[in-house]
Structure 1
Amino acid sequence: MKLLRSWNPSNLWGDCCNGVISRGFKEMFYSTQTLTNDSLYKRISVAGDPRVSMLPILDQWVEGGRTVDRSEIKTIINFLRKFKRFKHALQLSEWMSRRWNLDPSPGDIAVQLDLVLKVHGLESAEKYFRDIPDSLKTFHVYRALLICYANEKSLGKAEAIMQKMTEFRMLRNSLPYNVMLNLYSKLGNQEKFDALIQEMEEKGISWDTSTLHIRLNKYAAVSDINGMEKLLSQMEDKSQFTTDWNAYITAANGYLKAGLAKQSLEMLKKSEQHIDDKRRGFAYEMLLTLYASLGNKDELNRIWNLYKKMGKVYNRGYFRMISSLIKLSDLNGAENMLMEWESRNTSFDFDIPNLLINAYCKKGLLEKAEAYISRAIERGNEPTTGTYDRLATAYHKNKQIEKAVEAMKKAIQANRRGWELNCVTLTACVEYLKKNGDIELAEEFMRLLPKNGR
């Protein structure tokens, strides 16, 4: 049975995903550098609208006499998944299966199962799983289904799959246990979390680094400082485990939540000693946020300078730095950083200036917010729903309800990108419109309340 080809593409691809290319994926290809070499990777990366099929791009590439390698397609699929372009990843996976006319490996099936869940939901993922021949339902496939249930927080179904895996003697390592530990942690089920840890001990299931990180996160989340310190000491025993920078970041968060700033700072310093080159950029971005949370501007600037020395400054870095400066109430610094970003980055993402616009709105600096939005529009940059929603809320707060209504109109017309409109502001606009006899617009606003209210 050619499993991946058994799906009808018209059913698989649908129009269930909306939006635009993710910020993270744009950053990968549009930082301060400009791409010059043509490649299939580049063509797919820039075609970010999920409503547009990738099939014409793939077909045109092949028709042009260019070669396509399976490993290249798999690499692109992995990056698409990483940056949440699931619909396109599913299209590439299906196309790859048809082109090479091969039965999928368990790993291919696991990826496909995850993509079907992301694009079509749990019911479709379950149907996909049922259609898999028993001979191909390996550990990897069952674990993929377990992850599907965990992602959907379907506790009963996840536990049932764990039971199946027990019956099939698939629970020989910590990987499925880690999935369940994460789920119990998210659901706040301490009793089952502890019971599963005990089960692992009784069955001799070795804890890997992920298991330890999950436990450390759990201790930090509930401010169990004693438990966190004991486990961290265990992780620092080099004869058993390797402690990485993220473990110390987690501990720093735990101390910060418990109000222990000195200990939190010590953990951040330790984390810096364990950063490897592969994750250095992401680690610095985390450190920017945490040093700002500690109110330590000197350390914030030090990390930012180290980050810039890496040679690549992505949108997400500027996003972290600007938000950190705002957290420290340094609006002048945030404005200067925004100007630097605008001068150096070729990919304009309104989420970055929205940080400062939101700060202006909260402080009642509406003229500054209006001025920036006007300049952005003049430069051809379209504000998002979030931009206008923040502005509408500020107008409402400052008793400028007519302006709030106009801003809310623009918020509805703009690119929403999953943004939920402010329920209080939207309700106030509805009441104003009703009072002034604009029933049609009031009803249009009201239709958005159940879905978008917060």
Structure 2
Amino acid sequence: MWAIRRASTSLRNRGLKAGTARACLKLTPTASVEDEGRVSECCPKIYGRSPPLNTVQYHSGYASPNFIVSRRELSSQADARNTKEEEDLEDGFSELGTAGGENSDELISKSDLSVDDEDTEEPQNELELSDTETISTEKKSPKGGRAQSEMLKAILDAPDGTIRSTMDKWVEEGEEVKRSEISLVMHMLRKRRLYGKALQLAEWLEEKKILELTERDYASRLDLLAKMQGLQRAENYIDSIPESFRGEVVYRTLLANCVSQTNVKKAEQVFNKMKDLEFPLSAFACNQLLLLYQKIDKKKIADVLLLMERENIKPSPFTYQILISAKGQVSDIAGMDQVVETMKAEGIEPDIQTKAILAKHYASAGLKEKAEDVLREMEGENLKENQWVCRFLLPLYAGLGKTDEVGRIWEVCESNPRIEECLSAIDAWGRLKKVEQAEKVFEIMLKKWKKLSSRDYTALLKVYAHNKMLTKGKDLIRQMAESGCRIGPLTWDSIVKLYVQAGEVEKADSVLQRAMQQNNMKPMFNSYLLILNQYAQRGDIHNSEKIFYRMRQSGYASRSSIYQTLIQAYINAKQPAYGMRERLKADDVFPNKGLASLLAQVDAFKKTAVSDLLD
């Protein structure tokens, strides 16, 4: 553990200030929610009995190192073993619903370590939590595929808001409600991001008391509440959970949702609450803080590592992934390599996902040869036998501009591709502006799977948005609707990008607003931010404030980065921003250097040489 913390201080050699921390048992809530482009000057103090040790303050800009097509999963395996069995799942990801199990790791944001830089959601992260139910009992068809669930079919066919009556009818007709089928249905609803229907089903189960509920059931409902109705509603729900089921799994679920929504203050409060309740401090909880601070305040990473060292908490593979990613974000390649060496010294060999993170950051730092060496190592001697690796290689080679390599890797998959490989290929060809090739892959998907999901259509829609092909994008949206696909927040985000790239920000705004009203679903953070940026650039104060308000209404915590964009609208409009400092204070946002500079420009009462003369 000492070695890993020592590796975390390598930024000292980059001329950064050293701070002091103590081994901690409590985090004092941060007084500010900082933006990604700076280090907080208000680090929460960490208290304990141990003597102070030097730690480092991480200073960086935020460039989320998106790597792997994966999702935020409730107590799922962070390092996602890439076995053939997992890759043979319908959409290439395994539902590891062993919530709180000994081998489970984080409600991780793999989207924060994903391959697509444009999909950084706070992405709500489309940062997804998987169902807490285990699906080990999932029924299989004789051919090895998923057996059709009649309950799932009934719920999917049911109009929004009618799940309770649908399930009442299901019981009245004499159908059984089995835990194994409920697990499967919840799993599939989450995969389709049908969180509203999943929440209604969870509420119905709790009301009817047909099944004996477990802590994981309550945690699942809490997670869905956090997604659909916000953190406060989820936190309030805890009081209604029977005390015997109000355990660590419930609170770690709340903690992970706080992290996924980048609510620093609330995340630290929940972490402290878990300590107050005397839950054992786990790598899971620490990794959540690491994940949070990796995004908003890297200097606090060293404090968390010191805590882990003092509490004798062994780093998990995902701990190392976060640290590697944090080093890569600030282009500290030597520090990144040092973390890898420490990882190996602890007997943990980098897996494919970790290697993908390394390759991405080598490429970003201009070390293309090192990146290619890692990619060749990932590929191995026989790529056909390890075809599942192709989904990682395709976007990484595209990022290096290697059109020939993308074509070569796709040839390995083309005769019998899995869904994730197709999605990666569409993304890769889109990055290379090879729209026709991306369309050909999509046609292969249509022929092979007949019924595609909204996620599959959205992959091509992103390509059209990236290449400013508005007409084709509209045609695809119509095709998507005609196919019966449910259009949700991920698709809305692509539609917003499509219109924004075409210069039609008002259209993007109205589409997002109508979609939210019709579907009663929460848009992605990035969707709002794209529109806000456009209005701010125009100096459109009215519409900038409108989007800012909608973000607040949707439950997104105010952050320095959002305020910076909002203030930029006032600057571009050459108008003062009355009461802006008070608004920041009310939201517990501490102005950093960049934000303070912007505030000075819109201060209605600032003194200048001319104003002094006039006074």
**TM-score, normalization: structure 2?**
0.53
Give the CA deviation at 1:36: 11
1:287 paired with 2:383, answer no
| In structure 2, C-alpha distance between the alignment counterparts of 1:233 and 1:192, rounded to whole Å | 22
Change (3 A) 1:110 1:319: same
Give secondary structure in 2 for the equivalent of 1:142.
helix
- For the 8 Å contact 1:408–1:426, the answer to whether it is kept is no
Matched, 1:40 2:147: no
1:217–1:250 Cα contact (<8 Å) kept = yes
d(CA) in 1 for partners of 2:252, 2:468: 46
**Compared with structure 1, are the counterparts of its residues 233 and 381 closer, same or farther at alpha carbon in structure 2 (3 Å cutoff)?**
same
Distance 1:231 1:375 in 2: 44
Secondary structure of the residue aligned to 2:468 is: helix
Provide the rounded CA distance (Å) in 1 between the counterparts of 2:254 and 2:512. Answer: 37
1:265 to 372, 376, 380: 372
Q: 1:80 to 1:343 in 2, by over 3 A?
A: closer
Given candidates 427, 437, 445, the residue that maps to 1:323 is 427
Is structure 2 residue 167 aligned with structure 1 residue 58? yes
2:108 counterpart residue number: none
Please give the residue correspondences for 1:47-86 in structure 2 after superposition, counting only pairs within 5 Å: 47=157, 51-86=160-195
Query: Would the aligned equivalents of 1:389 and 1:407 in 2 still touch at CA under 8 Å?
Result: no
The equivalent residue for 1:208 is 316
- In structure 2, distance between residues paired with 1:71 and 1:345: 26
Q: What CA distance in whole angstroms lies between the structure 2 residues aligned with 1:409 and 1:155?
A: 28
Residue in 1 aligned with 2:403? Answer: 297
Q: Give the drift of 1:292.
A: 0.5
Q: CA offsets, 1:19-41, max 9 Å, x none?
A: xxxxxx9xxxxxxx9x9975235
Amino acid at match of 2:353: N
1:231 corresponds, among 314, 321, 339, to 339
Q: In the alignment, what sits opposite 1:166?
A: 275
Q: Aligned to 1:93, which of 202, 226, 236? A: 202
Q: Quick one: structure 1 residues 291 and 260, their matched pair in 2 at CA, closer, same or farther if it must change by over 3 Å?
A: same
* Conserved? CA contact 2:508–2:531, under 8 Å: no
Correspondence for 2:412: 306
Q: Tell me the secondary structure at the aligned position of residue 361 of structure 1.
A: coil
Q: How much has 1:289 moved relative to structure 2?
A: 0.9
Change (3 A) 1:136 1:325: closer
AA in 2 matched with 1:173: S
CA–CA distance in structure 1, aligned partners of residues 279 and 330 of structure 2 = 32
What is the aligned partner in structure 2 of residue 250 from structure 1? 357
Residues in 2 aligned to 1:160 and 1:448: alpha-carbon distance in whole angstroms: 28
* Alpha-carbon distance, 1:301 to partner: 2.4
Match of 1:241 in 2: 348
Superposed displacement of residue 276, structure 1: 12
- Specify which structure has the higher proportion of helix: 1
Q: CA deviation at 1:426?
A: 8.5
Determine the C-alpha separation between the residues in 2 that align with 1:393 and 1:53: 37
Q: Tell me the distance in 1 between the aligned counterparts of 2:381 and 2:209.
A: 43
The CA deviation at 1:326 is: 2.9
Indicate the SS of the match to 1:171. coil
Shift of 1:130: 2.6
Aligned length: 392
Aligned residue number for residue 257 of structure 2: 148
Please give the root-mean-square deviation of Cα atoms over the aligned residues, in Å: 4.6
Q: Is the 8 A contact 1:244 1:274 kept in 2?
A: no
Q: Percent identity?
A: 24
Q: Cα 1:244–1:44, aligned 2, differ >3 Å: closer, same or farther?
A: farther
Which one-letter code corresponds to 2:404 in the other structure? D
Select the structure with the greater relative contact order (CA < 8 A; seq sep ≥ 6).
Answer: 2
Q: Relative to 1, partners in 2 of residues 1:354 and 1:115: Cα closer, same or farther, differing over 3 Å? A: closer
The answer to whether the 8 Å contact 1:44/1:54 transfers is no
TM-score, scaled relative to structure 1: 0.69
Superposition deviation, residue 127 in structure 1: 1.2
Q: CA 1:287–1:202 in structure 2 vs 1: closer, same or farther (change >3 Å)?
A: same
Give the direction of change, closer, same or farther, for the CA distance of 1:57–1:190 in structure 2 (3 Å limit).
same
How much does 1:255 deviate? Answer: 0.9
Equivalent AA in structure 1 for residue 359 of structure 2: A
How far off is 1:406 after superposition?
12
Specify the alignment match of 1:4 in structure 2.
none
CA distance in 2, matches of 1:149, 1:449: 20
1:207 alignment partner, SS class? coil
Per-residue deviation at 1:86?
A: 1.8
Map 1:181-220 → 2, pairs under 5 A: 181-187=290-296, 189-220=297-328
- Of 280, 284, 288, the residue aligned with 1:179 is 288
- For residues 510 and 275 of structure 2, the distance between their equivalents in structure 1, rounded to whole angstroms, comes to 55
- CA 1:79–1:212 in 2, change beyond 3 Å: closer, same or farther? farther
Structure 2 residue aligned with 1:30? none
Return the letter of the residue paired with 2:181: E
Give the deviation of 1:236 after TM superposition. 3.1
- Counterpart Cα distance in 1 of 2:546 and 2:328: 41
Q: CA deviation at 1:201?
A: 0.8
Q: Note closer, same or farther for the CA distance 1:158–1:424 as it changes in structure 2 (3 Å cut).
A: closer
Alpha-carbon distance in structure 2 between the residues aligned to 1:410 and 1:318: 32
Deviations 1:137-158 (A, max 9, x none): 3222222232233233332332
Stretch deviating more after TM superposition (286-295 or 102-111): 102-111
Q: What 5-or-longer segments of structure 1 have no aligned partner?
A: 1-24, 26-32, 363-368, 397-403, 432-442
Question: What is the aligned partner in structure 1 of residue 248 from structure 2?
Answer: 139
Change in CA separation of 1:338 and 1:158 when aligned onto 2, cut-off 3 Å: closer
Alpha carbons 2:283, 2:316 under 8 Å: kept: yes
